[in-house]
Structure 1
C-alpha cells in the first residue's frame, strides 16, 4: 500500500494544484462565496472519512434547537435522489443519505434537508428558519459560513499530510487557517498536557483560532427504533460487529475492553448493505455456539439497514445500536458552548 501511494503521488500534485487555484479564486473574489443574513455554522474536516462530524452536528443541534428554528443541510452522500429534498421520518438512507437519516431519526422535530448545492439549499430553508447547520461543507466554498468548526482526528494528526489520491487530505493542510474553531476529536479520555502540546504544535492554530479537545462518549445500547435495551457486554459475550464507516478502529477498541470475542463484518464507508451481506451475518451468528451473543452496529449503519428489502431479514436478528456522542476534555465544554451561542445570538441581534 505504501508503494502504491508513492505511485499515486504525481496525481496528488496535480489534484493539489487544482485545489490551490480554486481556493485562490475564492479568496481573491473571482469565484463568489455567498453570505447570508442568518447565522450559518459549518462542521467539516480536511480528510476523507470520519473525524466525528455527525456527533458534532448532533451536539450543536442539542445545544441550539431549544432557542432557534434551526435546520441541518447536508449533501446527502450516497442517496439516489437529486436536488433539494426535505426529509421526514419515513425517508430511508437511499433517499436522503445515512447521516441526514440519522439526524431525522434522532431529532424528528428538527428540519433536515439535503442538497448538492448548499446555496440553493440555504435559499430554500432561510424563509422558515433562523439558523442553518451545514454538515461536511468545509470545502464547499460557494457558501461563506459565519462560524466554521474544523475537526481533526487525533489518531491521524501525525500521519503524512498527503493529498488525494496518494493520501487522505481533500485540500492542503494550510486550509485549516480558514476555520474559526478547531476541535481535535477521538482523543484518549486521559489526554495529557504533553499530548495536547503536541497537537498544538502539529496544527499550529493562529492566535485567534481556539483549539478544543474531545473524546468519544459511548452511550447505552439501543434497538433499531432508538429504545434502550437491557444487555450487558462482558467477557462471555460474543459480539458480531457490523460496520460500514470510515474508521471503525475506536469502536472495536471500545468493545474490546469488555470482550475479546469480536467477529467484525467490516465494509467500506457508506456501504449499501445487501441481502447477501445480511445472510452471511445471519449464518455466522446462527452457527456461533456462544450462550451469550449479540449483533452490534453504529447509528449511521443502522440507517442503511432500514431499507425496505432488508427489513424482513433484519427483523429476525438481535441487532443493537451503539450510539456515540461528544465529550469535551480539559473543561472545554463551557467555553465551546459559549463561543457558539454568542456567535448565534450576536449575529441574530445585530441583524
Structure 2
C-alpha cells in the first residue's frame, strides 16, 4: 500500500493524459471510423488477464449459431506477441510468431474448420485493418474486435467491457500505481459490463454489491456475471478428450493463472506448476527440461494458447508418445446471458 501511495501522483499524470486523449475523441476533434457492418468490441480497462479470448470464442459461437445462420464473421486483434507487422489474415501456414498465440488458437478452433464463415485477422492499426478486410471480403457481416476498448479510432456498435471478479476495475488504479490503462471513468463508454472469472457460488447479494460499484462509473450499462468452465483434457496427438488423467504437471503462460491452478488442484493430482509470463515464447530446451524432470506417471497439462506454441516444438514421434494434454476452457454465464440485441447481425448495421 505504501508503494501505491508513492506512485499515485504519477498515476494522476498518466490518467490526465489519457483523459485528454479520450476527450479529443468524445468531442470529435479526433476522427472515429464506424464501418457499415456490425462491430462488437471486447476489451477491458486493465492490462491483461480478464478472459477476453474465451469471451471472443463465446461470441463467435453465439453469432455463428444465432438466428442469422448465414453471418460471415471476422475477428480482429493486435496479435500480441507476433513478430510481424501490419494487416494479416490467418492461414494454415501461420504460427504464434506470425499472428500471436491467442489468434492462432482462435484460428485453429474456428477459422480453419469454417473458413467461409469465420475469418481471423490481426492488425495493430484497427481502422486501417478493417478497411483492408472489407476490401478483400465485402461479404463480411460482423467484426469482433479483441482488446479494443482503448482503440478509439474505431467506433464499435457495441462496446463490451470485461472486468475480473478477483481484481475489479473499481478497486484498481491507473498505471503505474495499478493496472488500469485509463481512469475508472472510462467504463462509461461500455454498452455492457461483464464480470469474468466469477466463482460458481457467487451470491445474489454479492452480485448486487458489485453492480452498485460498477454503476458509479457506468450508470446505464447492464452488468452480467460469468465464470469459466473447463472441459475434459484433450490429447495433443489424438485431439480426443480423456477421463484417464490423474497425476499432472501444469504448464501455463497466463497473466492470471490462479483460477486455472485452483481448478487443476481440485480435479487432478497436481504435482508441479511451471508458471511462465503471459504470451511466453517457449524453447525446445525448456520443453525437454520440463518433460525430463516430471515425476513418473505424470502427464503434462497446459492451456489451449500454450498448446499451440508447445505443439510446434514437437516431433511427430514425441507428439504421439509423450503424455501431453491441453485443457479447453469456455465462458459460462451465471444467470442471464447477453441478450440477442447485442449480437444481431443485420445486412448493414446502423451507422
User: Same fold judged by TM-score > 0.5?
Assistant: yes
Q: Which moved more, 1:220-229 or 1:195-204?
A: 220-229
Separation in 1 of the partners of 2:176 and 2:14?
8
Report if the CA contact (8 A) 1:79-1:96 is conserved.
yes
- For residue 258 of structure 1, the aligned residue among 267, 279, 285 is 267
Separation in 2 of the partners of 1:44 and 1:244?
20
Q: Secondary structure at the match of 2:166?
A: helix
Alignment pair present for 1:32 and 2:31: yes
Q: Secondary structure at the match of 1:155?
A: coil
The structure 1 segments of at least 4 consecutive aligned residues displaced by more than 6 Å after TM superposition are none
Q: Which moved more, 1:132-141 or 1:5-14?
A: 5-14
Separation in 1 of the partners of 2:239 and 2:322?
16
Partner of 1:341: 343
Partner of 2:308: 303
Separation in 1 of the partners of 2:99 and 2:342?
27
Q: Secondary structure at the match of 2:83?
A: coil
Q: Secondary structure at the match of 2:163?
A: strand
Partner of 1:267: 276
Unaligned runs of 5+ in 1: none
Alignment pair present for 1:276 and 2:260: no
Partner of 2:176: 165
Partner of 2:121: 113
Report if the CA contact (8 A) 2:43-2:149 is conserved.
yes
Query: How do 1:98-247 and structure 2 match up within 5 A?
Result: 98-107=101-110, 108=112, 109=114, 110-127=118-135, 128=137, 129-157=140-168, 160-204=171-215, 206=218, 208-224=220-236, 227-233=239-245, 237-247=246-256
Per the normalisation by structure 1, the TM-score is 0.90
Separation in 2 of the partners of 1:296 and 1:3?
38
Report if the CA contact (8 A) 1:42-1:137 is conserved.
yes
Q: How far apart are residue 226 of structure 1 and its match?
A: 7.6
Separation in 2 of the partners of 1:314 and 1:136?
35
Report the CA distance shift for 1:259/1:306 in structure 2 as closer, same or farther (over 3 A).
closer
Report if the CA contact (8 A) 1:221-1:322 is conserved.
yes
Partner of 1:9: 8
Which whole-Å deviations, capped at 9, do the CAs of 1:236-290 have from their partners, x for residues lacking one?
Answer: x3211000011111011111112353300001111111223212211211xx13x
Q: Secondary structure at the match of 2:171?
A: coil
Separation in 2 of the partners of 1:54 and 1:227?
20
Separation in 2 of the partners of 1:253 and 1:14?
37
What count of residue pairs does the alignment treat as equivalent?
A: 336
Task: Give the aligned CA root-mean-square deviation in angstroms.
Answer: 2.1
Q: How far apart are residue 31 of structure 1 and its match?
A: 1.1
Q: How far apart are residue 210 of structure 1 and its match?
A: 1.3
Alignment pair present for 1:74 and 2:61: no
Partner of 2:97: 94
Report if the CA contact (8 A) 2:187-2:218 is conserved.
no
Report if the CA contact (8 A) 1:184-1:211 is conserved.
yes
Q: Secondary structure at the match of 1:300?
A: helix
Partner of 1:318: 323
Per the normalisation by structure 2, the TM-score is 0.90
Partner of 2:58: 59
